[in-house]
Chains A and B, each alone.
Chain A
Amino acid sequence: MSPPESAPSIQDKLILLVEDNPDDETLTLRALSKNGIRHRIEVVRDGVEALDFLFARGAHATRVGWGMPTVTLLDLKLPRVNGLEVLRQIRADARTRNLPVVVLTSSREDEDLIQSYGLGANSYIRKPVDFVQFMDAVRQVGNYWLILNEEPPGHVP
């Protein structure tokens, strides 16, 4: 049976971008596209929506069959449920335990770094203010997580 038309094939790599700032969202999408990264990108704007998407519930209950993101780019300061709590719940659930999560944030505060790694972040990238550097960071993140890195065995929620 072929998957419903709205749901892409699970072979397609998906990037989940958790970002509440519309400017940062636009700039990140621009940087991805300028770097030739043409994968599907799902943007969610707070921690609740991120978890709903990952666990296919709430507004994303019909997501069944989409597969898990190849990489999740997670901002830390988010409305409702913050990024660290999202990360904690991702690591606490068998379905998402191995999901590659890259913290992508403005902050370089020690406590954010310590807590992110403590909760099992795969990587911590500080978004540069300079857009040229930002472009380069996005290019490297894309190349590494979408091309170089081998995904953990996928789970379909």
Chain B
Amino acid sequence: MSASLIVPLALSASLVVAGLSWWNVVLHRRLRAGRDREEARCSAGPSPEEEQWRRAALEAAGQADQLRLQLRETQRELASLSYSISHDMRAPLRGIDGFSQALAEDYGDCLDATAHDYLRRVRAGATQLNLLIEDLLSLSRIVRAPYRPEEVDLSALVAAAAGELSAAEPMRQLHWDVQSGVAALGDRALLDVALRHLLVNAWKFTAGRIAARISFRVLETPGPEWPPGVPVYEVRDNGVGFDMQYAGKLFGAFQKMHVPEDFPGGRGIGLATVQRIVARHGGSVRADATPQEGAAFTFSLTSAPAGGEPPGAEVALPAGRMPVPGPGMTVPRHPTNAR
């Protein structure tokens, strides 16, 4: 059941989060527009225009509430599915692995080399399935994890991860080029996970390259594919790259670009995780690569322009000037906090 069920669930949770972020922006803009008008107008009664705005704001609030309910429902479903997977799917695997081993131990003398090879394959299959289950659970944890926004020094996270990678394989010659002082508003733990997945990929796919290089920076002039004014971050390497023809599959769970013989150990969960983390921040991620020349992953963490308030920021309006849209309306918090 797992992959076919949990991935769409995780995806729909991300979509709902993205939808909520978008509504927050819309609502916020409407509130701000209304506040500006409020300041400008004299003390006369509500104009037809104000009445229209008030209705629109109420409608937006209603739809945001509905999305929030939907999100909570999806998250609950995802949580109970994860719980069941965590408890119920491992036990049969333990049986497969354990009894294969028992067979080899207790009846090994009666089995020929082929039979032993089959048993070994059974156990390898159980191990692989267990790793996939672990990946699914960690992906669902990412979607369900609490979102606690703060000012995060992305450069420091990158530098720490780079140091660990280099320390783990000290023989590798690789030049790290990390722009310092790049900061963003986001959840530190989630951003750390996302950056690590990108850096580990870059590290892996530059193995064996001469003058290998991995860089991290904020783009000075992001391309037209990005909303204007939104900060865009980039992790770039000069590794083996990949064919952009298959880039569409890149961010799906368990999609791989390389055969396991060339790059063992990958299970195709890293970029799916990155995509969900970025989506939880209200941003998006793109891949760009050329075979044998390298790959670049660019991502944003908000859909609102720099300098403006990101969708994650709480909309705080001074009580006296708030364009009160009517009783019962709540100012939205960040959608992913509404758990």
Contact = CB atoms under 8 A, between A and B. Distances in A.
A131 B86 contact: no
A13 interface: no
Contacts of B92: 23
Secondary structure dominating the interface of A = loop
Q: Which of B93, B94, B126 has the most CB of A within 10 A?
A: B94
A128 B90 CA distance: 9
B95 A27 contact: yes
A45 interface: no
A106 B91 contact: yes
A129 B130 contact: yes
What interface size band does chain A fall in? 20 to 34
Q: Please list the 9 inter-chain residue pairs (A to B) with the smallest Cβ-Cβ separation, ordered nearest first.
A: A23-B95, A131-B98, A106-B90, A129-B130, A27-B98, A107-B86, A131-B101, A129-B93, A77-B87
B98 A134 contact: yes
Nearest to A20: B91
The main secondary structure of chain B at its interface with chain A is helix
B83 interface: yes
Given A30-B102, A129-B127, A107 B87 contact: yes
A107 B130 contact: no
Most chain A CB within 10 A, of B87, B92, B130, B137, is at B87
A128 B95 CA distance: 11
Contacts of A76: 87
B99 interface: yes
A129 B87 contact: no
B135 interface: no
Contacts of A134: 94, 98
Given A106-B90, A131-B97, 5 more contacts: A27-B98, A30-B102, A106-B87, A107-B86, A108-B137
B82 interface: yes
A154 B82 CA distance: 40
Given A106-B87, A107-B86, A129 B94 contact: yes
Contact of A132 (B86, B93, B101): B101
Interface residues of B, number: 20
Interface in B89-116: 90-95, 97-99, 101-102
Contacts, number: 58
Nearest to A30: B102
A24 B95 contact: yes
Central interface residue in A30, A106, A109, A129, by most chain B CB within 10 Å:
A129
Interface of A: 21, 23-24, 27, 30, 76-77, 105-109, 111, 127-132, 134
Residue among A107, A108, A131 with max Cβ neighbours from chain B (10 Å): A131
Given A30-B102, A109-B82, A130 B87 contact: no
27 contacts: A21-B91, A23-B92, A23-B98, A24-B94, A24-B95, A27-B94, A27-B95, A76-B87, A77-B88, A105-B87, A106-B90, A106-B94, A107-B83, A107-B86, A127-B90, A129-B90, A129-B93, A129-B94, A129-B97, A129-B126, A129-B130, A130-B130, A131-B94, A131-B97, A131-B102, A132-B101, A134-B94
A23 B100 CA distance: 12
A76 B84 CA distance: 12
B161 to A, nearest CB: 24
Nearest to A22: B95
Given A21-B91, A24-B94, A109 B86 contact: yes
Contacts of B137: 108
A143 B238 CA distance: 51
A30 to B, nearest CB: 6
